[in-house]
Amino acid sequence: MILQRENKILRTKAKKVDDFKFPEIKTLIKKMAEAMFAEPDGIGIAAPQIGKSLRIFLVAKDAAVKNAEELRSSTSDVKSQKTSDVLPRKKEYLVFINPVIKNTSSKKGKDTEGCLSVRGYYGEVARPEKITVEYFDESGKKHTRGASGLFARVIQHELDHLEGILFTDKAKNIKHFPQNLKDEL
């Protein structure tokens, strides 16, 4: 179950992971992936969103390779389709443990964001277009990689979760679109 914005853990700075070999870390990562892929529009998830205040997040590999428009078009009509009509997503993801942004571009881009923990709300968020992030994977191996476009945006969004920040804290022009039309009637 993905926690919603009212939950206090989402407003708490997450704790650093000290022991990568701890068996609960692998179990947590599996639960995070299951929760993210259970949502048709899930492309990233942070540990606090499932109740664990640890500096871990996942990004769907789709988001790392597709641009925002391709991903948006592939997930936008999913809720209106029958489950049997939706093509299965590749359930592959990247794991980021104790991530730190080392560099950002001065150029910022604005795009619409939503969040699995703030369902039905969307707003425009300005973020650096390119970043360099340093992190550990689930085996404890250190990585440094650049990211741009949607991939950079998702990383920054998930890093905000680890700091207790929701996208609505930064967004302009926030709009509410109910998940279910019955909510409006």
User: Tens of pLDDT along 139-153?
Assistant: 999 999 999 999 999
pTM of the model: 0.85
- Asked if the model's pLDDT at residue 83 lies above 50, the reply is no
pLDDT confidence of 178, banded at 50, 70, 90?
confident
**Strands of the chain, DSSP E:** 44-46, 56-60, 93-104, 108-113, 121-128, 130-136, 142-148, 172-176
Q: Report the chain's mean pLDDT, rounded to a whole number.
A: 87
pLDDT confidence of 89, banded at 50, 70, 90?
low
Least confident among 26-30, 73-77, 96-100: 73-77
- The four Cα atoms 96, 100, 36, 66 give a dihedral, to 10 degrees, of -90
Q: Is the dihedral of CA 26, 29, 31, 33 positive or negative?
A: negative
- Report pLDDT for 19: 87
Q: Which residues are catalytic?
A: 158
